[in-house]
Structure 1
Amino acid sequence: MNFVKRAGLSLWSRKGRTLITLCTFLIISVMVLAGVLIDDATAQARNAAERSVGAEVDLEMDLTGQNAAGGLVAPQISATVVDELGASPLVQKYTYSMFDRGVVKGGTKLVTGGVDASATGMGQDGTPTIGVLDSALLPDFRSGNFKLLSGRHLTAADKDKHLLLIEERLARKNGLRTGDRVTLGANGGKATADFTVAGVFRDPRPSSEPEPEHLVDPANMLYASIGGFARLNGAADGPPQVRKATFLLQDADDLGRFKKEADRIAGSALDGFRLDANDKAIRQMTGPLDSIGSTAAVAMWLIGIAGAAVLVLLVNLAVKQRRKEYGVLLAMGERKWKLIAQQALEIVAVAALAVGLSSLFTQSLTQSASRSLLGREAAEARHRLDSWQPPAPGSTGIDQGIDPDEKPVENADPIDEITVRLAPAALATVGGVGLGLGLLATAVPAASVLRLSPRTILTKGK
């Protein structure tokens, strides 16, 4: 009788031991497969988060340096320098902005009944205006928080034009539509200029909720083409001076190269600024993923190691119980390698059955478990973000013990759900682990088989 047939008969005749081995392999297979599925699902969710955020680098004031001290003027950088940085082949798109006050004229009225304009220093007709190179790259538009209802975004091609984006409540109050003109006055002096409405957008915040950075009614916020707005406010003799810039890199791996290139191009012009990759948003979104990923990995390793130890003990015990059987077979001329092959075949057959059974229900089980674990981790992360309190107006927060780097990133909610999919590669991984454990469990007691002597076994039972 060949050893393959003997292996089948042995498994069938020793149903109790076979069932114990199958259950052990099944637990290992489920845990390993669940770990692989969670790892794949978290990797896909992390990649999706990185794509949604983009390879973004922000040029902003360095709050940790000397400019964080009170009383110092916020640093500014020439738009010409930023244009040189944006011309780098490492950059896909870029934008920059400046903030100033505009005065609406010509019968245009601001939205009232919300934030008191006089309390913010804007005056009755004053409204905050942000000159921007490319409005589509503003964080609120990129995240989908702001929605462009009509018209188009301001682009780099509009840099020296007189164009505006206005909020829908301001447009509705004044009957303004795309193509209409709004007269703006300078922050100081009597200069005025006519700006054409390029688009109307929606800011979901109510008028009673002040815009967090400038503490004004969000319905009155204007976005203007930066060149035209800068000239209105007295920058006719040179390029605009900006305080913020955003660069979208071709590849997130180019961050280090871009920082070196920025230091080479801008030099001392970057004093008071810092270049920060927008990986904070990614960390904020993927924090719960890292937590459940590490938990699944630890559980997978612990179960795998413990299961391997149990399998070795089971096989070793089986060899001892079958010594007389092996002695008879050896006395009949059976070769020792066939006995080892029979034992390995029995283990591998049980392992294959366990892997097949685990594939039937592990996906749904893992999806349910990950939803529960990830939901709890995401809820805790969201609670920490919601409990963060901003510093008092006019303060950086450093003197209050508030780290500005801990400020939550808007529109970067922690991921609270992943999609688990059973792929052939995952089954192949689990099958490889099962095969490896089976061979390892067989290899340990194989030495006992090689030392067997049929005469000693049959005469002394040892």
Structure 2
Amino acid sequence: MNFVKRAGTSLGARKSKTAALLAIFLVICALLLGGFLLQAAAARQEADAQRSIGVDVTVRKEGLTPALADRLGALGPVHRYNAELAVRAGAQGFTPLASSVPEPGGTADGEKEKGALAVNGVRDSGMLLPFSYGSTKLTAGRGITPEDAGRDVAVIEQRLADKNRLKVGDTLQVRSADGKHTMPVTVVGIFQDPAQDPTMWTPPHELPGNRLYVLVGTAQKLSSGTATVREAVLKIGSPDQARQLHAETERLLGKGGFEFRVNDKAYKDQVLPIRRVGTFAGLLVWVIALAGALILGLIVMLQIRERRSELGVLLAMGEKKWKLIGQHAVEVAAVALPAVALAALAGSLAGQSAGEALLAHQDDKPVSAARAPDTEIAPPTVRVEPADVGKVAGIALGISLVSTVIPGIGILRLHPRSILTDTE
């Protein structure tokens, strides 16, 4: 009889042992698939975290111009950046806020009006700490983004908007610091600064309500001289890229003379735990594969001992030894493949909830200690991919081969006469 058909007959005749072998293989395949799914989900979530959280690098230098800041933002590891340029400006056609406390000394009215507004030129307001960490909130409209380049737009404070009855879409006339020209800017957003108005007299440009954000190019036009960037904040994917960025910054700005500060706290709080889960999943796959091969090898070895008489008869009938080993391999493989299919079905049904339980635990951390609210990591996506099922099937078949070939070495040493005359 063909050894493949004989394997099928043997499985049918030994239903209880076949079911037990299927259950063992199902557990092994489910754990293997779970490891692969967890590994893939961790990799996807880590990539998402690197894009959304990343690592902030702050570069400061005397005489740092907007053009140099743009060149820093174009360096290889940088995928998002912001430059901040602060100037003072005046208002035309609307009234800036004034301190409710009388002024103690004699600043000229013209000087006060000339610099009543604190204008902050930015490229990406979402990267400013007050906005990213949620202490300053947008109450209407949106912030300033890189897509606004070339436009004259502004985000103003709620108190200034309330006093002048301004809303998103209105146009403000902002006068340059030297008073020589005015610029129309369109309000695209209104924010609320948590800072309270000072209880003592404060110059108008220091009042939180007189702060507004515009694009760096707009701030340059409003400045009365050569405007320099206060700092450039560069977002990179991981702390490992900080050394590369420092070297490229040094080539651009020259050695020394600049401050290079790396803030990777949010990255460590969020990304490293995800990476540890992925590493654990990879280790789990190897442990399960080795343990599965060992367990199944012992089971097959016991089966060979139980079936010595059967093997002896087959050998006496002239059956080749390699076909006996092949029969055992086919029996185990025939059980492994249905186990892979059942494991894939279980993974598609329960994989998402298991992945969330293991990967979403870091969301319980306080926002201030972990990350900015606008850069929350998306929930882990666990999905059964054909490649993962293929890897599980490959390992399962490999386990089948190892667990039958190694114990099968004993078959090669068997002799029909010794088996059939053995009384054990």
3-state SS of 1:460 partner: coil
Which amino acid is 1:180 matched to? T
How is 1:198-237 mapped onto 2 (pairs within 5 angstroms)? 198-203=186-191, 220-226=210-216, 229=219, 234=224, 236=225
1:180 equivalent to 2:197? Answer no
Partner of 1:8: 8
Identify the residue that residue 306 of structure 2 maps to in structure 1. 321
Tell me if structure 1 keeps the 8 A contact 2:50–2:271: no
2:141 corresponds to: 149
Q: Is 1:37 paired with 2:37?
A: yes
How far does residue 413 in structure 1 lie from its aligned partner after superposition?
Answer: 5.2
Q: Does 1:374 align with 2:359?
A: yes
Residues 371, 416 of structure 1: 8 Å contact kept? no
Q: Which amino acid aligns with 1:271?
A: G
Q: 1:423 is matched with which residue?
A: 385
Q: Corresponding residue for 1:337?
A: 322
Q: Distance in 2 between matches of 1:228 and 1:422?
A: 50
C-alpha change, 1:107 and 1:332, in structure 2 (3 Å) is closer
Question: How far 1:4 moved relative to its partner?
Answer: 1.4
Compared CA separation, residues 91 and 431, structure 1 to 2 (3 A): closer
Contact 1:312 1:442 in 2 (8 A): yes
Provide the C-alpha distance between the structure 2 equivalents of 1:7 and 1:157, rounded to a whole number of angstroms: 75
Over the aligned positions, Cα root-mean-square deviation in angstroms equals 4.2
1:13-412 equivalence runs, <5 A:
13-52=13-52, 58-61=57-60, 77-85=64-72, 95-100=82-87, 102=89, 104=91, 107-110=94-97, 126-132=116-122, 134-135=123-124, 138-139=127-128, 146=138, 149=141, 157=150, 164-167=154-157, 170-176=160-166, 178=169, 180-184=171-175, 186=177, 191=179, 194-203=182-191, 220-226=210-216, 229=219, 234=224, 236=225, 239-246=226-233, 259-268=246-255, 271-274=257-260, 276=262, 281-379=266-364, 382-383=365-366, 386=368, 388=369, 408-411=370-373
1:401 counterpart residue number:
none
Q: Could you list the runs of 5+ residues in structure 1 that have no partner in the other structure? A: 62-73, 211-215, 389-407
Would the aligned equivalents of 1:171 and 1:200 in 2 still touch at CA under 8 Å? no
Deviations 1:308-342 (A, max 9, x none): 22111100001111111111100011110110000
- Please give the alpha-carbon distance, in whole angstroms, between the structure 2 residues aligned to 1:454 and 1:417: 62
With over 3 angstroms needed to count, the CA separation of the structure-2 counterparts of 1:112 and 1:287, relative to structure 1, is farther
Q: Distance in 2 between matches of 1:30 and 1:194?
A: 69
Is the 2:18–2:335 contact (alpha carbons within 8 Å) kept by the matching residues of 1?
yes
Of the structure 1 ranges 253-262 and 174-183, higher mean CA displacement relative to structure 2 is found in: 253-262
In the superposition, relative to structure 1, how do residues 259 and 454 fare at CA in structure 2: closer, same or farther (>3 Å)? Answer: same
1:209 and 1:294 map into 2 onto residues whose CA distance is 51
**Structure-2 change in CA distance of 1:13 and 1:262 (3 Å):** same
Query: Per-residue deviation at 1:305?
Result: 2.8
Deviation at 1:48, TM superposition (A): 3.0
Give 1:265 shift: 2.6
- Deviations, residues 143-176 of structure 1 (Å, cap 9, x unaligned): 9975872898685546xxx764324553343134
Cα separation, partners in 2 of 1:299 and 1:252, compared to 1, 3 Å: closer
Deviations 1:371-415 (A, max 9, x none): 223343431xx14x54x5xxxxxxxxxxxxxxxxxxx54236553
Aligned to 1:446: 408
**Unaligned stretches of 5+ residues in structure 2:** 104-111, 199-205
Which amino acid in the other structure matches residue 41 of structure 1? A
The verdict on how the C-alpha distance between 1:413 and 1:348 changes in structure 2, with shifts beyond 3 A counting, is same
Output the amino acid matched with 2:59: E
Give the letter aligned to residue 18 of structure 1: T
Secondary structure (helix, strand or coil) at the match of 2:372 reads coil
Change (3 A) 1:14 1:94: closer
Higher relative contact order (CA 8 A, sep 6+): 2
How far does the alpha carbon of each residue in 1:432-456 deviate from its partner, in whole angstroms, 9 at most, with x for none? 1100111010011111000000011
Residues 192-245 of structure 1 show CA distances to partners (whole Å, capped at 9, x for unaligned) of 7533223331336656599xxxxx8765431134466457554x2xx3222212
SS at structure 2 position matched to 1:48: helix
Q: Name the structure 2 match of 1:67.
A: none
- Kept in 2, the 8 Å contact 1:289–1:415? The answer is no
CA distance in 2, matches of 1:322, 1:374: 47
| Deviation of the 1:37 alpha carbon | 1.1
Find the aligned partners of 2:91 and 2:127 in 1 and give their Cα distance. 23
- What CA distance in whole angstroms lies between the structure 2 residues aligned with 1:117 and 1:432? 81
The amino acid that maps onto 1:450 is L
User: For residues 327 and 244 of structure 1, do their structure 2 counterparts lie closer, same or farther at Cα, with a shift above 3 Å needed?
Assistant: same
Cα distance in 2 for residues equivalent to 1:350 and 1:299 = 23
Q: Residues 263 and 3 of structure 1: is their aligned pair in 2 closer, same or farther, counting only changes over 3 Å? A: same
Q: What TM-score comes out, normalization by structure 2 length?
A: 0.77
Percent identity, please: 34
TM-score by length of 1: 0.72
